[in-house]
Amino acid sequence: MPADPVTLAGIGDEAAPDLRGQLAALDAASLSAIELRTVDGVPLSEVDDATFALVARSISQADKDVVCVDSRIGGRAGRSPRRSRTISRSWTC
């Protein structure tokens, strides 16, 4: 049985704090996928709904895929998230 192809992705906020810079870095590296953690220094799990929709739309318009949504663990120990969100609800990029 052949293995599924591997998708290489860039960890967005390691290239730039803002989404535009993150997407530009993917283009510069010829990558088609992003691993999201933060946008403008804000963890994806904590952005408001309007920002979340803008991020999803921007990624889709850039013709990129989201292969992973990272979350902070170390900084969250003992605290509950501000808000729970089903991330997959909008990821049809």
The answer to whether the CB of 65 falls within 8 A of the CB of 32 is: yes
* Residue 87, pLDDT score: 46
Residue 1 included in any domain? no
83: in domain:
no
At residue 5, the pLDDT reads 83
Running along the chain, 93 residues long, what does each successive block of 10 average in pLDDT?
Answer: 79 95 97 94 90 94 92 59 47 45
Amino acid letter, residue 74: G
Give a yes or no: residue 58 inside a domain: yes
C-alpha span between 63 and 82 (Å, rounded): 31
Burial of 11 (0-12, 13-18, 19+ CB in 10 A): middle
Separation of alpha carbons 56 and 65, rounded Å: 10
pLDDT for 70: 84
Both tokens of residue 1? 């049985």
Is residue 21 assigned to a domain? Answer: yes
Q: Is residue 16 one of the residues assigned to a domain?
A: yes
Instruction: Residue 42: give the domain boundaries.
Output: 10-75
- The predicted pLDDT at position 67 comes to 92
Other C-beta atoms within 10 Å of 67: how many?
14
At 76 the pLDDT is 54
Q: What is the pLDDT of residue 44?
A: 87
